[in-house]
């Protein structure tokens, strides 16, 4: 990994892209420290120092508490999830998605408009929640309108930054923004570890060592999930085109273990932490009680979390992979799976394989998501990371390295041909 980065910095074009990513992420982190208009800075700094009550989903996709970038990339991520579901439910959108580059541009345009609409709704609710915290100097309608406008503008600007990173840099811009949100909590975690070491309490130090071991083990586990795949062998038949013989080669069809990716865990977290989000707008006793019951550290919330991860893994996989379409494409291109007849038997074989991989993947996700929570319950030491954050970090890091490797390899071939 480090050798790839070093080699990438030696290439002028890749070096420009890497510096562009660093600069644009730096702009985002700068905006994530600018408070909203009308905020009482003393109260704002005190609440930030004490920690906020943001949900895990909001912490991952959003910015810092009480800032113009508090919503972060959240509205765009939510709009993207909604559009993925609508493309399956609405035939016109599904057809549009299959129209190639033009269709994807139309889908992207609709997603951006939907994200702006969600930003207005979420921004108004977030500002109302901040008013309940006593964050504003003069909590009146003018302050509410100004703060909402600033927050919505910030969300639109973050969406633009994400697209700019994708265009000017390497990899997906939204992933880099989420990655920066996760990494931003690292200094606080390091300070907590230093405080534990300075306390010289044997039990706390032993717990810290266990936490470091768990962190390393989960990263290795996340890499295993991210890279795991089932390779289905495919044999293409020979065909005569003019006087030339084409085809006849053997290859494989890769199906990843993490078909659902991190989406299954994000869906589960967002659903379980919905009462906590509602409590920020309407803190009634019933909503607060539901928030406590559905907490990830509570028995009911813990069990529901595991069940929801399994359910959403199969749910997301069901429309992310279409075995019938895959079987038809194989048949059109003259490909067959050895020992399996074309048509329905091939689609059934692919469906069974996907189902088994989804079962394995769901088990992996449950272990990855619940291990930090179990450790926190047993050791009584606050865990500063979760399975979702680790999976996102590993996914972004591996994808970036793969992008750099492919571009370095392409330039190597170009240099070889030019010489």
Q: What is the pLDDT of residue 157?
A: 92
Q: Which residues contact 170 (CB under 8 A, 6 or more apart)?
A: 14, 17, 18, 21, 400, 403, 404, 407
Q: What is the pLDDT of residue 200?
A: 66
- 340, 341, 347, 351 alpha-carbon torsion, rounded to 10°: -20
Nearest to 116 by CA among 155, 63, 59: 155
Provide the 10 A C-beta neighbour count for residue 162. 23
Where are the chain's structural domains?
1-184, 194-385
C-alpha radius of gyration, the chain, whole number? 24
CATH fold for domain 194-385:
Preprotein translocase SecY subunit (1.10.3370)
Taking domain 1-184, whether its CATH number is 3.40.225.10 is answered by: no
pTM for this predicted structure: 0.77
Q: What count of residues does the chain have?
A: 419
What is the rounded CA–CA span in Å between residue 247 and residue 128? 63
Q: CA neighbours within 13 Å on the CB side: how many for 211?
A: 23
Q: What is the pLDDT of residue 323?
A: 86
Q: What is the pLDDT of residue 324?
A: 86
Q: Which two tokens stand for residue 332?
A: 């059109």
Note whether 1-184 and 194-385 share their fold: yes
**Mean pLDDT per 10-residue run, the chain (419 residues)?**
73 83 88 86 79 59 79 84 79 78 83 90 83 80 88 91 86 81 73 68 73 80 80 76 63 81 75 74 76 82 86 81 84 82 86 88 84 76 67 78 78 50
pLDDT tens digits for range 89-103: 788 887 887 777 788
**Four-residue CA torsion sign, 255, 217, 305, 119:** negative
């Amino acid at each position: 990994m480090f050798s790839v980065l070093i080699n990438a910095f030696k290439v002028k074009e890749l070096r420009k892209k890497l510096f562009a990513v660093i600069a644009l992420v730096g702009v985002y982190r700068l905006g994530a420290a600018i408070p909203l208009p009308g905020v009482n800075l003393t109260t704002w700094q005190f609440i930030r120092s004490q920690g906020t009550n943001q949900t895990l989903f909001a912490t991952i996709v959003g910015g810092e508490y009480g800032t113009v970038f508090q919503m972060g990339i959240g509205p765009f991520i939510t709009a993207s999830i909604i559009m993925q579901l609508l493309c399956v439910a609405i035939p016109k959108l599904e057809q549009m998605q299959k129209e190639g580059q033009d269709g994807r541009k139309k889908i992207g345009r609709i997603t951006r408009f939907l994200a702006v609409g969600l930003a207005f709704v979420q921004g108004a609710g977030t500002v109302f929640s901040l008013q309940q915290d006593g964050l504003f100097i003069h909590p009146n309608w003018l302050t509410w309108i100004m703060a909402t406008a600033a927050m919505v503008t910030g969300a639109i600007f973050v969406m633009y930054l994400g697209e700019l990173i994708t265009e000017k840099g390497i990899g997906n811009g939204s992933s880099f923004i989420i990655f920066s949100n996760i990494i931003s909590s690292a200094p606080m975690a390091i300070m907590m570890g230093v405080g534990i070491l300075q306390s010289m309490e044997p039990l706390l130090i032993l717990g810290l060592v266990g936490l470091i071991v768990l962190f390393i083990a989960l990263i290795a586990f996340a890499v295993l999930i991210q890279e795991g795949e089932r390779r289905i062998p495919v044999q293409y038949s020979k065909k005569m085109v003019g006087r030339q013989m084409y085809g006849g080669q053997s290859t494989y069809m890769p199906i990843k273990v993490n078909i659902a990716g991190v989406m299954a865990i994000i869906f589960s977290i967002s659903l379980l932490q919905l009462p906590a989000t509602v409590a920020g707008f309407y803190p009634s006793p019933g909503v607060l009680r539901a928030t406590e019951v559905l907490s990830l550290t509570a028995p009911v919330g813990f069990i529901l979390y595991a069940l929801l991860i399994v359910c959403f893994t199969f749910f997301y996989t069901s429309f992310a992979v279409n075995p019938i379409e895959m079987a038809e494409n194989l048949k059109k291109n003259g490909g067959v799976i050895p020992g399996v007849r074309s048509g329905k038997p091939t689609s059934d074989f692919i469906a069974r394989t996907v189902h088994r991989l989804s079962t394995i993947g769901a088990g992996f996700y449950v272990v990855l998501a619940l291990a930090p929570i179990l450790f926190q319950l047993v050791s009584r030491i606050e865990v500063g990371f979760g399975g979702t954050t680790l999976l996102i970090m590993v996914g972004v890091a591996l994808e970036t390295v793969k992008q750099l490797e492919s571009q370095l390899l392409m330039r190597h071939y170009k240099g070889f041909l030019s010489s």
